[in-house]
């Protein structure tokens, strides 16, 4: 007998800091179980006031709630990104409402790269590349491979776009409706 509950699958979000620039990108696919519900969802945002790019993977309402909470933390801590991500992670882990949210977020600026999860993780990757979601591993491997090439693109947005295209060729929960934002 088939389970009647629909299983949600994530997306692909990747962010990169390179050469004093930053970019983030995501695909547009929304999948539930074995169905594509939407092809052009917007999962990345620019917080212009703070020169920060953010993206989420997971449940849309949960991801949007977390992005809103992150923006509130940025305001509360006067744009101090490391402090805002740590405080959000603490709240996310301890608050009865927030700890039930099923999403992950990426935060990218020209100086910082973070991945946050509901288990209290605040990860700042050594190489400045953050990738989450179903196709995150594929996009991460693609970006790292491109950066190893002699003639690697110098623009992080170009690397992000190509990494997402490669992930979309491999991951069935990722499509080529790609949005890339840059700082």
Known catalytic residues? 11
Residue with tokens 């409402």: 97
- CA atoms lying within 13 Å on the CB side of residue 145: 10
The H helix count followed by the E strand count for the chain is 4, 12
CA distance 66 to 24: 17
Nearest Cα neighbor of 20 from 138, 162, 128, 116 is 128
150 - beta bridge partners? Answer: none
Give the DSSP letter string of 36-97.
Answer: EEES----EEEEGGGTEEEEEEE-HHHHHHHHHHHHHHHHHTTT-HHHHHHHHHHHHHH-TT
């Amino acid at each position: 007998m088939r389970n009647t509950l629909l299983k949600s699958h994530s997306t692909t979000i990747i962010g990169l800091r390179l050469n004093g620039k930053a970019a983030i990108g995501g695909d547009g696919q929304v999948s539930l179980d074995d169905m594509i519900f939407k092809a052009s969802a917007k999962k990345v945002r620019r917080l212009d006031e703070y020169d920060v790019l953010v993206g989420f993977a997971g449940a849309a309402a949960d991801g949007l709630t977390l992005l809103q909470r992150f923006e509130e933390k940025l305001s509360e801590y006067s744009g101090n990104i490391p402090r805002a991500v740590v405080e959000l992670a603490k709240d996310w882990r301890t608050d009865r409402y927030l700890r039930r949210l099923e999403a992950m977020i990426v935060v990218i600026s020209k100086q910082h790269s973070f991945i946050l999860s509901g288990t209290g993780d605040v990860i700042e990757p050594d190489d400045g590349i953050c990738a989450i979601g179903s196709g995150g591993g594929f996009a991460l491997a693609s970006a790292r491979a491109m950066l190893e090439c002699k003639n690697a693109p110098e623009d992080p947005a170009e690397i992000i776009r190509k990494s997402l295209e490669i992930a979309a060729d491999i991951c069935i929960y990722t499509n080529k409706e790609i949005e890339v934002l840059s700082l």
